Structure 1
Amino acid sequence: MKRFSLFLAALTLVVAAGCGNGNNGGNTATDAPKNNAEKPAEGQKKNVTIKVFQFKVEIADALNRMAEAYEKETGIKVEVETHGGGEDYSALLKAEIAAGSEPEIFNAESFAAFDAYKDRATDLSGETWAKDVVPAAAVPAQVDGKLLGMPMNIEGYGIFYNKELFKQAGITENPKTLTELENVAKKLQDAGITPFSTTNEWWSIGHHTINVALADQADPVAFVEGTKNGSEQFKNNEIFKKWINYVDLVFKYSQKDKLTTDYATQVANFASGKSAMIQQGNWIQGDVDKVAQLDIGLMPIPYDDSGNAHIYTGPANFWVVNSKSKHPEEAKAFLDWMVTSETGKSYLTKEFKFIPALTSITATSEDVGQMGAEVSEQAATAGGWQWGRYPDGVPQGWGAAMQEYQGGTINQEQLFDKLNKAIDEIVSK
C-alpha cells in the first residue's frame, strides 16, 4: 500500500508557486471504524442543528452518512445541502445569505474568493488541526495572516485514459506532444472508439481548461495581474496561441452531442467505455467505480510539441465557518472531528477518496483509488491552480465564452477578446 507523504512533500513545492480552487453521489458505503461516543466540546450547545452548504456532488451521499455518524457520536445534528455540477454554487450561496439563511459551514474557493466572505469567515488559525495543514494548501485561504478556511483535500486533473481501449486501438505509448495526441485520437477513431468524452459545463471547459495556459506562464501571478490591469491580452500571449490548438483538438475528437452533455453524462460515457479519454480530475473516481472497475492511466496535457506537458494540482476548496451563523462553535467542532477522529478520517480517505491536505491523515493508494494514486505519481512536476486569483464572476464569464466557442458561434480572436472582457467587467466595478 502506497502512502502519500511523498505526494504531500512534492505538493508543498509545486502549489506554493500559486494554486486555487477546484470544481467539481458518494461512493459505495464501507463500515467506518467507530470511535467511542464523544461529548460536545466545551462551548457547544446540545440538541442543535448545524447546516453545511457545499458544492461537491461527488461526496454528497457519503457526506450525509458522515453527518449521521457524527450525530450518533455527539448528539449534534448536521444537515447537508449540496449544490454543484452545472449549478453556480457561488451565486446560490450568496442568495442563501442574502435571504437571511446563514449556514454554519460553507465552501469557498481560493485567494480572491475569500473577499466576499471576510466579514463571515472565522479565523481557524488556532484550531488544533491547523498546524498539520500542508503549507501550500493553506496559502490560498490565508488573509492578513489568518487562516480563513480548512482545505477540503488535494486534487489533480489531466487527461485520464482507459488503458484497455488504448490497447484495442494498438496504442502502445502515451502521447507527450500535441501532434502525438492527435495521432492517438485518430487511431482511436479508426478503431471505432470515440477519443474524448467532453462536456458543455462552464466550469470544466472554462476555468479548468483555461488554467492550463494560465499555469504554464513564465510567471503565472504576474500574468494574472497583467490581465487585471490591462497590460496583458490573451490574444497576444504565445502560450494561449498554442493552447487553443489543444482546445480545438478535444472538441474535434469528442462525442457528437457534446453541446448537450452535462458533467454526469460526460463521466458516465467515460466510465462505460464509450470514450477513451477525459479531461477531468481524480474527483471522478467514485462515479467511475459505480459503473465499472477500469484500468485507468493519467497523461499530462500537451498544448504544443515541446513535450513540456503537466497535470495540475491544488486544494479543491475550503470549509469556512460562518461567524454570523447561529452555531459557529459547533461548526468548528464538527470540522475538528472530521480530521481528527478515526470515523471522520476514514470517511475522508476511504469513502470520499480524498487525498488529504493535512499531514496528520494517512491515506493509501487503495484508499484514494487509482486516479488519486496516478495524481500523486506526477505531483512533483505538476502545475498549480490559478483561476482562484480572479474574483467571482470571471470564471463564469470564461465558461460562457468557451461554450460559445465550443458551439462555433465565435472564432478564436473573439474568444480571446471575451476572456479579457470577462475580467474587465468584474475588476473594473
Structure 2
Amino acid sequence: MKLFKGSSLMVLLLAFVVVLSACGNSADSGKSSDSSNADVKITLLNSKGEIQTQLEDAAKAFHEDNPGITVEIQAVPTGGSPFERASALYASGNPPTMIMMDTGDVEKFKDRVLDLSEEKWNGDAVVNATDLTTFDGKNYAFPLAIEGYGFIYNKAVVDKAVGGSFDPSTINTTEALEGLFKQIEASGKKALVVSPMDWSLGAHYLPLAYAGQNKDMAEVNKFVDALRAGTASIADNKVFNGLMDTFDVMMKYNIDKASALSSTYERGPELLGKGEVGIWFMGNWSWPQISSFDTANGEYGFLPVPISNNAADYGNQEISSAVSKRLVLDKEKATPEQQAAAKKFLDWIVYQDKGQDFLVNKANIIPAFKNITIPAADPLGKSIQDYISRGKSEQSMSALPADHWSILGASMQKYLAQSGDRALLAKEIEEYWKTAK
C-alpha cells in the first residue's frame, strides 16, 4: 500500500511540473519573437521591384541571425499598385504579414494593421518621418526609405557637353535646362530619355505642380483641398503651366519622341548608364539599374525640375524628397508569433549591422533613422542627401489618392503622345480632384 501511495504522489507531482512548464512556455512565447520549439514563417509584400533581389538576400541574412524565423518576399506585379494588391490579398483572406505601402495608403488600412507607436525605432526616426502615418496619436507604419527624384545627369556626358566640369547649380530655369539639352546634342549625344510609365508621370512628375505651390505644406494642402472643392483652377495656375512648359522642352528633346509611349523603364538606366543620353527624369531608386550599365563607374547627380525662368522661384533649385515607402504589419490574420517576428525584422533593419548594410549599401536606400550614420553608398543617394542638408528639398506629395498615378498618369501619357493638349490635361486634372476619394 505504501508503494502504491508513493507512486501516486510521484505521478501527481510530475503532472504538476508538466503543467507549470507548459504555462511557462506559453508565457514566454508571448514575450519573445524567437521560437525555440517551432519555426515562424512571415511574408513581406514588396512594392519596390528594383530591390526584390536585395530583399531576398536580406531575408536570408536575417534568418541566419534568427534561425527560428523565415521571411518570404512576395512581389507586387510589375507596374501594379501596392494598394490594389494588398486589397486583393485581404479580400482573399491571405494578407502578408508585412506590406510595403506608399505613404498615402496607410490610413486606408489602419484598422487592419498594428499600432506600432511603442516600437523603439520611433524615437530614432528622423523629423516628420511618421507624421503622415500617425492618426489619433498612433503611428501605424515603419518609415522604410527616403527617396528623391528629379533629372539624373551623367556627369561624363554633360562635362563633355559644357567643355569642362559641369556645375549643376547653373541649371535653375527652364531656359537654362534647354540650353544644356542643346549643348549635349551638339556634343553628339542625345539630351534625355523620357520614361512614359503612368507611375512616373502621375506619381512623380505631375505632383510637382502641387508641391511647388508653396514651401509651407499647409498651403499646399489648402491648394489640393481647393481642387477637390472645385474652387481652384489648374489651367490658370502659374506653377502648373511652368512645369508643363518644362515638359514641352523634355518632349522636344526626348530620344523616343517619335514613339513616346513605346519606351520602358529598363531603357532609361541603359541609355543613361551607357552614356547615350545625358539626362533622365527618375529617382534615386534607379541606381542599381544605372550602375549595372555603367562599366566606367562614372559620376551622377540630380538637377531640380524648373518651373519658371526666374531662378529665385521656389522649386527651381529644390529636389523633391520624402519618406516614400512604409511597412505595415497585419493584425487580422497574423498570429502573435508572426507579429513579434515581423517586429524583430524591423528592429534588425534599424539596429543590426547586417540590416543597416542591406538598407544603405545593398538596397541603396536613404534611411529614415538618425541612428544609421552610414553615408549613402551611391552617387544618387549622396546627391539627395546633399540637397536635404542644404535646405534645398521640396517635400514630395506622399499622400495622394491611390488611383492618382493611374488616372492622371494616363492623362499625362496622352499629353506626351500629343493625343491631347494642355487644356484637356488641365480639365482632366480638375475633374479628377472633384471626385477623388
Separation in 1, partners of 2:251, 2:102: 28
What CA deviation, in whole Å up to 9, does each residue of 1:67-108 have, x standing for no partner? 011112212110001226522332222112211111000022
Which is further off, 331-340 or 388-397? 388-397
Alignment equivalent of 1:369, drawn from 367, 372, 378: 378
Equivalent position amino acid for 1:373 in 2: K
Higher relative contact order (CA 8 A, sep 6+): 1
Alignment equivalent of 2:193, drawn from 190, 194, 197: 197
User: Partner of 2:394: helix, strand, or coil?
Assistant: coil
What CA deviation, in whole Å up to 9, does each residue of 1:375-413 have, x standing for no partner? 111111110012x33322123211111111111111101
Separation in 2, partners of 1:294, 1:187: 20
Equivalent residue, structure 1, for 2:333: 325
Deviation at 1:44, TM superposition (A): 4.8
Equivalent position amino acid for 2:73 in 1: V
Equivalent residue, structure 2, for 1:104: 97
Equivalent residue, structure 1, for 2:233: 233
Which is further off, 85-94 or 329-338? 85-94
Alignment equivalent of 1:170, drawn from 128, 140, 162: 162
Identity in percent:
24
Equivalent residue, structure 2, for 1:378: 387
Deviation at 1:336, TM superposition (A): 1.4
Equivalent residue, structure 2, for 1:83: 76
Gapped regions of structure 1 (runs ≥ 5): 1-38
Equivalent position amino acid for 1:344 in 2: G
Separation in 2, partners of 1:424, 1:89: 24
Alignment equivalent of 1:348, drawn from 355, 359, 370: 359
What CA deviation, in whole Å up to 9, does each residue of 1:198-251 have, x standing for no partner? 111111111211122211113211111111121112112121121110111112
Which is further off, 41-50 or 127-136? 41-50
Equivalent position amino acid for 2:220 in 1: P
TM-score normalised to structure 1 length? 0.86
Query: Does 1:334 find its partner at 2:334?
Result: no
What aligned pairs does 1:11-26 form with structure 2 within 5 A after superposition? Answer: none
Gapped regions of structure 2 (runs ≥ 5): 1-28
Alignment equivalent of 1:304, drawn from 303, 308, 313: 308
Separation in 1, partners of 2:81, 2:366: 25
RMSD, aligned CA: 1.8
Greater gyration radius = 2
Alignment equivalent of 2:431, drawn from 421, 424, 427: 421
Separation in 2, partners of 1:179, 1:319: 41
Which is further off, 250-259 or 39-48? 39-48
Question: Structure 1 pair 84/140, CA: closer, same or farther in 2 (3 Å)?
Answer: farther
Separation in 2, partners of 1:163, 1:73: 41
Question: Structure 1 pair 278/84, CA: closer, same or farther in 2 (3 Å)?
Answer: farther
Deviation at 1:316, TM superposition (A): 2.0
Kept in 2: contact 1:199–1:260 (CA 8 A): no
User: Partner of 2:278: helix, strand, or coil?
Assistant: strand
Equivalent residue, structure 2, for 1:179: 175
Task: Report runs of 4+ in structure 1 exceeding 4 Å deviation.
Answer: none
Equivalent position amino acid for 1:272 in 2: K
Equivalent residue, structure 2, for 1:294: 298
User: Partner of 1:259: helix, strand, or coil?
Assistant: coil
